[in-house]
Homo-oligomer: A and B are copies of this chain.
Amino acid sequence: MTHAPLRFGLIGTGRIGQVHAANIAANSDTTLSWVADPFVDGATAVADSFGGRVTADAGELFAADDVDAVLIASPTPTHVDLIERAVDRGIPVLCEKPIDLDIARVEALRPKVAAAGVPVALGFNRRFDPAFAEVRARVAAGEIGALEQLTIISRDPAAPPADYVAVSGGIFRDMTIHDFDMARFFLPDIVEVSAMGSTTFDEGARRHGDYDTAVVTLRAASGAIVTIINSRHSAVGYDQRLEAFGPLGTLQVANRSTSLVSLSTAERVEATAPYEDFFLQRYAEAYAAELRAFVALVRDGASESPTFDDGRAALLLADAAQRSATERVAVAVGLH
């Protein structure tokens, strides 16, 4: 059976909103029908390139009769309200992470989302990266035996502006949140969090009481231990590695080089080009796959997309990490 394309209302047209707009336009199963942003010029630019009607007011989008799904890519503080409006109208949602920086608002929304018959998916794009997904599938297939250790190295290319740091919710809620979800992609049931943060180079982080460097260890119910190593900068490019370790061996995800060329000279051999710049390059396929999974979720109830509860769990882990780093204790968590 063929379907008419799923008509998206996109809310938010910043960097990540533009990525989604392009993917919606490129996917033959989806089309962009509305683009909402209070910054109308941004919405207009996106609509010019990828289609859709423009509005400054998301309410107009929710009132329209040609919106089959909403993609929320607006600032974090707007997410809870927008999810609620979509759920109230019975419109499926794909919302960028995090749901909110305040777990209380998430918990307050949770029963309504659970009761709604409408899918609410979270934009944890890395689950859809072919390499991470491959490792998870191969671990599940038993190639390395029962997972004992998972090591995630995740370093952004450069620290964000101090203004952004001020409202980011801190490194754990803003950056590590992806790694918490990646940990749960392999080991959903995390029971304990321990974190150490440090500020080694970023004046903005220092000013706002945030960290630029962090290591988090998580204990899974199975006894497996996850280690997350973060930095807000990385000279070599976006540093995104993962190692799954089990009794039969390891599966590793390497960084992706931007070139197949290596140079060898009298000083140094096998030198290759730096890794890809940042998430827009590194996770380009992941964003497209995330959209495909969401379409399958809306149409057929497919279960690959991370859920509202996955978004809540990642925030609970971030909160626990923040507390652990501040109070210097390990923090028990219950994600159920």
Which residues of A are at the interface with B, using a C-beta cutoff of 8 A?
130-131, 134-135, 138, 143-144, 146, 148-149, 151, 153, 155, 192, 194, 196, 198-201, 213-215, 217, 219, 222-225, 227, 229, 231, 233, 235-237, 245, 247-257, 259-275, 328-330
Contacts and interface: CB of A to CB of B under 8 A. Distances in A.
A248 B229 CA distance: 17
Given A130-B259, A224-B200, A236 B251 contact: no
A236 B266 contact: yes
Given A200-B146, A219-B196, A261 B266 contact: no
Given A236-B265, A263-B268, A148 B201 contact: yes
Contact of A194 (B196, B237, B257, B271): B196
A190 to B, nearest CB: 12
Contacts of A261: 131, 134-135, 138, 251-254
Contact of A235 (B249, B255, B260, B272): B249
Contacts of A260: 130-131, 253-256
A263 B252 CA distance: 7
Contacts of A198: 148, 219, 223-225
28 contacts: A130-B260, A144-B235, A144-B263, A144-B265, A148-B201, A149-B231, A194-B194, A194-B217, A194-B330, A196-B217, A198-B219, A198-B223, A201-B247, A213-B225, A227-B227, A227-B229, A231-B245, A235-B264, A235-B265, A236-B264, A249-B263, A250-B263, A254-B260, A255-B269, A269-B273, A270-B270, A271-B272, A329-B329
A263 B200 contact: no
A271 B274 CA distance: 11
Contacts of A214: 225
A259 B200 contact: no
A269 to B, nearest CB: 5
A153 B330 CA distance: 22
Nearest to A331: B328
B248 A266 contact: yes
A196 to B, nearest CB: 5
Nearest to A224: B200
Contacts of A233: 247
B250 A330 contact: no
A263 B143 contact: yes
Contacts of A272: 268-271
A235 B255 CA distance: 23
Given A143-B263, A245-B231, A215 B213 contact: no
With a 10 A CB-CB cut-off, give which of A199, A233, A271 has the most chain B CB atoms. A271
